[in-house]
Amino acid sequence: MAKQFKTESRNDTAEMLLRLVVDGAIVSDRFDQAIRTGGLGKHLAEAKAELEGKNEVASIADRNPELDAYHHLWLYKTPIATAGKNIGKPFEGSCYYDKIPKEWVDKWEGKEIVRDDWWIPDPRIVDQGLFDFVSSHIPRFNNLMAYEPFFLYCEQARRWLEEGTTLTDIPTAEQFE
C-alpha cells in the first residue's frame, strides 16, 4: 500500500510539473527528471518542442504581468550597470523619487526635516492620503504613489546618509520612539 501511494504521489507531482512546462514555465533539470521518472518524458519533450517551435518561451508572468518580478522600484535613482553586456545602461524599473512633485522638493530643499514632519501620531487613524498611498502598491509595488510624509521619511534618511550619519549616531532612546 505504501509503495502504491508513493507511486501515485510521484505521478501527481510529475503531472503538476508537466502542466507548468506546458504553461511555459522553465523548470530545473531536477524537475525535468521528476517528470521523466513519473513516466511523462514523451509529453515533456513534446511540450518543450512546441514552445521552441513558436520561437518563444512563454512564461506565466507573460500572461499574468501582475506576477512578474521585473518591474523594480528603485528609491532614489535607477542604477546604471557597471559591468556585463548592459554596461552603461540603466537597470530595469522605475524610481520613486521621479514620482515626487517638484513643489515638494522645492518646499523642503534646505529645510530641516524632523520626525514630526513625517510621523503618523496615531496609527489607528488613517486619513485618505495614507490609505491611498498604502493601497497604491497593490497589485504591484512599483506603482507606489507619491506621498509627502513617506517622501520626507526617505529624504531625511537620504540626507543623514549623505552626512555620514548612521543609526549608531542616534541616541538609543530616540531610535525607538
Per-residue pLDDT reduced to its tens digit, 62-80 = 555 555 555 788 888 888 8
Higher pLDDT, 22 or 157: 157
Phi, psi of 170 (to 5 degrees): -95, 130
Q: Answer left, alpha or beta for residue 73, where phi above 0 means left and psi between -120 and 50 means alpha.
A: beta
Q: Given the C-alpha cell 506621498, which residue does it identify?
A: 147
Secondary structure of residue 95 in the 3-state scheme: strand
pLDDT at 149: 96
The segment with the largest mean pLDDT, out of 3-17, 72-86, 123-137, 143-157, is 143-157
What percentage of the chain has pLDDT greater than the value 70? 81
- Region 160-165 average pLDDT: 88
Q: Supply the DSSP symbol for 61.
A: H
pTM: 0.57
Task: Spell out the residues 6+ positions from residue 175 whose beta carbon is closer than 8 angstroms to its own.
Answer: 167
pLDDT at 143: 85
Task: Output the nine-digit C-alpha cell for 96.
Answer: 520613486
